[in-house]
Amino acid sequence: MNIDYKALAEKYGTPLYIYDFDYIENRYTTLKEAFAGKKSLINYAVKANSNLSVIAHLAKLGAGADCVSIGEVKRALEAGISKYKIIFSGVGKRDDEIRMALEYDILLINLESEAEMKRVEQIAKELGVEARISVRVNPNIDPQTHPYISTGLHESKFGVEIAMAKRMYIYAKKSEFLNPVGIHFHIGSQLTNLEPIREACGIVADLVRSLKAIKIDIKFFDVGGGIGVVYDDEVTITAKEYTEAIFAMTKGLDVTLLCEPGRYMVANAGAFFTKVLYEKLNEEKRFVIVDGAMNDLIRPSLYSAYHKIEAVEKEGEKTPADVVGPVCESGDFFGKDVQLPPLEHNDLIVVHSAGAYGFTMASNYNTRAKSAEVALEGGEDRLIRKRETYEDQVRLEREYLVK
């Protein structure tokens, strides 16, 4: 992104998230065009970046939404996504969430267990409605990614095995209050190898063929998300390679293809920037202490995730430094042994590829306020979430304070 970081930092303050909406539109268009000629729906994974303006931007482009809480369902609806383009997924759905999803009449509820299916059936019966459902199938495929974002193996909490899925579909077919219209799998995130996707797709497509043979008419074939992006030097999958593999494995099936990209859409659309407070030298160890922290961007601490870090408009001989924040945890860092020039108070540092799982995973740890968010579109910038204040943080506590 060709951005005047210093001007934005002066205008909106730091720490700060910025998102390039033109980039997001390009990513959506590229993926949609790769599905050309097939019935398809791109359901943006709201958990990646749940800002209302981000969702609304994708809604205008025609996207649906993949939601993993009723709160995300509400965000999708408020941002303008049609109820018939919304999927409600997630391992643990409360009764009130299931009830609200049925009342909203969204496209379908994605089931993760037999027990969950029985709860959905009971609540649908109480409401006197038919629940459109899909089942998340666990194809037991190693996605060859980070274990924390791997979801397609039997030891994962997600989905059910093939035999259980088939039993669930047969049960749902016979139920007065369940309508099995879809099937779903998602083997993991940040996938950079096409073969696990192809293999999983083939396994689930074979299950669909067996279900259709016993008159269970699956209409939606959801391949999940997970297309990898470049954080460092990864060689990733192109949209065309991705869709061609799906087309090959689903050949002959009359289904609408669904996918759930999140990181693919927004990761490299975003940057996080933070100001230097001061430098510190312990023996031979150099630290650059900044005003952002792990509460703002937790991926490096949580996953040991790499983000490219650069100093803005600063020259000089580069030496290794740990870029760390003010939070009282040893895990509060953005990068270790980052090559940086000498830095001074108020110099600006940019953490790249921060559009996915950045602000959406932020917290108020250490009573730190959440940062502002800014959209860039057509050469213009605009605030899409104001900076949080101390008053915002204590509002829900103050009335209960006893002194």
Query: Which residue numbers are catalytic?
Result: 328
Question: What are the beta bridge partners of residue 349?
Answer: 274, 311
Q: What does the alpha-carbon distance between residue 140 and residue 199 come to, in Å, rounded to a whole number?
A: 10
Q: What does the alpha-carbon distance between residue 220 and residue 208 come to, in Å, rounded to a whole number?
A: 10
Q: What does the alpha-carbon distance between residue 73 and residue 126 come to, in Å, rounded to a whole number?
A: 21
Alpha helices, DSSP H, located in 112-253: 114-127, 162-174, 194-213, 239-249
Q: What does the alpha-carbon distance between residue 147 and residue 356 come to, in Å, rounded to a whole number?
A: 18
Tokens encoding 114 = 């037999």
Tokens encoding 271 = 């940057």
Total count of residues recorded for the chain? 403
Q: How far is CA 375 from CA 137, 280, 328, in A?
A: 37, 34, 31
